[in-house]
């Protein structure tokens, strides 16, 4: 309480009045410009944030378009690859068919060649047999042979046949 006794009421009243006048002057001259600057800054920040949001939306849109483009390119590449695989399989099938036909032709030519060689060999064998029979017959006719001699000539003929 002694503290209150030391205070001068007129001095306290004068300080309160000065404070209120200072407050009024600050409100009129200082706070309005400061608040208008702060409001302008707030509006500018909000505009920048809106621009940033628009830029983010544009980036997201571009990213979606890019992804769609990549997906289309992938699909086209897969489609093209399937087409190329189909053409490759078709070519492989054609090559196999051609090779099979060529092999069949070669086998048929070989069979004809074998038949021809076999017929030729048979004819040569017939000619050899006929020639040997003729030679043997000539010998038998030229010589009057006995049964044992005929037997020997026939055995010789058979051994010659075995050799050939």
Sign of CA dihedral 140, 143, 144, 145: negative
Q: Is residue 11 part of a domain?
A: yes
Q: What is the pLDDT of residues 57-91, one digit of tens each?
A: 999 999 999 999 999 999 999 999 998 989 888 89
Start-to-end CA distance of the chain, whole Å, equals 159
Q: Is residue 152 part of a domain?
A: yes
Q: Specify the pLDDT at position 4.
A: 65
Q: What is the pLDDT of residues 16-59, one digit of tens each?
A: 999 999 999 888 888 888 888 899 999 999 999 999 999 999 99
Q: Is residue 45 part of a domain?
A: yes
**Average pLDDT of the residues in 5-16:** 83
Q: Is residue 133 part of a domain?
A: yes
Q: Is residue 87 part of a domain?
A: yes
The three state secondary structure string of the chain is CHHHHHCCHHHHHHHHHHHHHHHHHHHHHHHHHHHHHHHHHHHHHHHHHHHHHHHHHHHHHHHHHHHHHHHHHHHHHHHHHHHHHHHHHHHHHHHHHHHHHHHHHHHHHHHHHHHHHHHHHHHHHHHHHHHHHHHHHHHHHHCCCCHHHHHHHHHHHHHHHHHC
Q: Can you give the length of the chain in residues?
A: 164
Segments forming the whole domain that contains residue 52? 7-163
Q: Is residue 12 part of a domain?
A: yes
- CB 160 within 8 Å of CB 128: no
Q: Is residue 110 part of a domain?
A: yes
Q: Is residue 1 part of a domain?
A: no
* 96, 98, 103, 107 alpha-carbon torsion, rounded to 10°: 140
Q: Please determine, for residue 1, whether its predicted confidence score (pLDDT) is greater than 60.
A: no
This prediction has a pTM of 0.41
The tally of domains found in the chain comes to 1
């Amino acid at each position: 309480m002694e503290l209150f006794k030391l205070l001068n009421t007129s001095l306290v009243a004068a300080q309160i009045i000065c404070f209120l006048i200072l407050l009024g002057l600050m409100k009129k001259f200082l706070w309005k410009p400061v608040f208008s600057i702060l409001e302008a800054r707030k509006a500018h920040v909000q505009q920048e944030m809106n621009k940033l949001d628009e830029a983010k939306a544009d980036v997201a849109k571009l990213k979606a378009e890019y992804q769609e483009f990549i997906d289309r390119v992938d699909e086209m590449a897969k489609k093209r690859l399937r087409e190329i695989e189909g053409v490759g399989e078709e070519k492989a099938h054609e090559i196999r068919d051609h090779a099979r036909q060529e092999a069949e032709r070669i086998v048929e030519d070989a069979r004809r060649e074998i038949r021809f060689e076999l017929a030729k060999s048979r004819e040569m064998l017939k000619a050899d047999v006929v020639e040997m029979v003729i030679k043997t017959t000539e010998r038998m006719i030229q010589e009057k042979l006995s049964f044992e001699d005929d037997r020997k000539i026939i055995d010789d003929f058979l051994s010659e046949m075995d050799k050939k």
